[in-house]
C-alpha cells in the first residue's frame, strides 16, 4: 500500500513537472519550419534519390528560407514556393527515375532528433513536405528555419546572433543547443507526455 502511494505521488509529480516543461517550451513547436522528404521505398536506389532530392532542394531553395525574418515568413515562403519546388524537383527527377514528387506544406509529427549540437524534442511541427512516389520508405528531415539544414556559423557569437535574429528566445536557443543538462530530462518528459496524450 505504501509503495502504491509513493508510486502515485511520483507519477503526479512527474506529470506536473512535465506539464510545466511542456508549457515553457511549447513555442518551439511553432517557431521552426522543418523539411520532410519521404522516399518512395527503402530500396537502395530510392534512398539515394531521396538524398539527391534533399541536396537539390537545399541548394536551390535553402537560402530563401534562411533569409526569412521569422517562422511565419518562412512558412509563407514555403507555401508560395511549393508549386515551383514540386515542378523543379520533378524536372530534376525526370532523367533519373519514373518516381514523381508531390510537395505540400502542413503539420507533421517528428521524433526527437539531434542535428550536431542542436536538438529538437518530438512533436508536431509545420513542415515543407516532399513525398516521392509512394512515400513508403525511410524519410529524411531537418530544420529549414532557423537554417539547421545548412551549415551554420563557426563563430559561436555569430551563430547565436543568427538564431536570435530568427526570432528565437534565449530559452529556445538553449533548448536547441541542449546547453543545460535538464533539457535531456525535458525531452524525455515531453516525449512521454506526447505519447500519453495520443
Query: What number is the average pLDDT over the span 165-183?
Result: 60
| Counted domains in the chain | 1
Whether 171 is covered by a domain: the verdict is yes
Whether 96 is covered by a domain: the verdict is yes
Q: Distance (Å, rounded) from C-alpha 159 to C-alpha 66? A: 13
Q: Of residues 175 and 137, which shows the higher confidence score?
A: 137
Q: Distance (Å, rounded) from C-alpha 45 to C-alpha 83? A: 25
Whether 197 is covered by a domain: the verdict is no
How sure is the predictor about 23, in pLDDT bands with cuts at 50, 70 and 90? Answer: very low
The pLDDT score that the predictor gives to residue 43 is 96
Residue with cell 527503402: 42
Whether 169 is covered by a domain: the verdict is yes
The pLDDT score that the predictor gives to residue 61 is 93
Task: Check whether 185 has a pLDDT greater than 80.
Answer: no
Going from the C-alpha of 93 to that of each of 24, 48, 50, 88, 145, the distances in angstroms are 43, 12, 10, 9, 25
Cβ atoms of 137 and 41 closer than 8 Å: yes
Q: Of residues 23 and 121, which shows the higher confidence score?
A: 121
Whether 193 is covered by a domain: the verdict is no
132-168: b or e for each residue (b if 16 or more CB lie within 10 Å)?
Answer: bbebebebbbbbbbbbbbeebeeeeeebeebbeebbb
Query: What number is the average pLDDT over the span 28-55?
Result: 92
The pLDDT score that the predictor gives to residue 163 is 62
Whether 59 is covered by a domain: the verdict is yes
pLDDT tens digit sequence for 118-137: 777 888 999 999 999 999 99
Cβ atoms of 185 and 119 closer than 8 Å: no
The pLDDT score that the predictor gives to residue 1 is 53
Whether 162 is covered by a domain: the verdict is yes
**What range does the domain containing 76 cover?**
30-179
Whether 189 is covered by a domain: the verdict is no
Amino acid at each position: 500500500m505504501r509503495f502504491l502511494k509513493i508510486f502515485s505521488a511520483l507519477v503526479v509529480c512527474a506529470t506536473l513537472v512535465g506539464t510545466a516543461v511542456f508549457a515553457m517550451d511549447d513555442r518551439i513547436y511553432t517557431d521552426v519550419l522543418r523539411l520532410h522528404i519521404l522516399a518512395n521505398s527503402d530500396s537502395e536506389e530510392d534512398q539515394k534519390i531521396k538524398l539527391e532530392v534533399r541536396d537539390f532542394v537545399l541548394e536551390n531553395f535553402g537560402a530563401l528560407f534562411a533569409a526569412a525574418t521569422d517562422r511565419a515568413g518562412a512558412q509563407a515562403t514555403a507555401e508560395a514556393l511549393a508549386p515551383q519546388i514540386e515542378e523543379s524537383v520533378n524536372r530534376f527527377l525526370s532523367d533519373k527515375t519514373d518516381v514523381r514528387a508531390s510537395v505540400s506544406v502542413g503539420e507533421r509529427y517528428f521524433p526527437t532528433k539531434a542535428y550536431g549540437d542542436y536538438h529538437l524534442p518530438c512533436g508536431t511541427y509545420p513542415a515543407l513536405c516532399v513525398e516521392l512516389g509512394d512515400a513508403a520508405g525511410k524519410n529524411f528531415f531537418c530544420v529549414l528555419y532557423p537554417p539547421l539544414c545548412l551549415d551554420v556559423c563557426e563563430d559561436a557569437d555569430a551563430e547565436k546572433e543568427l538564431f536570435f535574429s530568427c526570432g528565437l528566445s534565449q530559452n529556445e536557443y538553449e533548448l536547441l543547443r541542449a546547453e543545460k543538462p535538464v533539457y535531456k530530462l525535458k525531452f524525455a518528459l515531453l516525449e512521454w507526455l506526447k505519447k500519453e496524450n495520443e
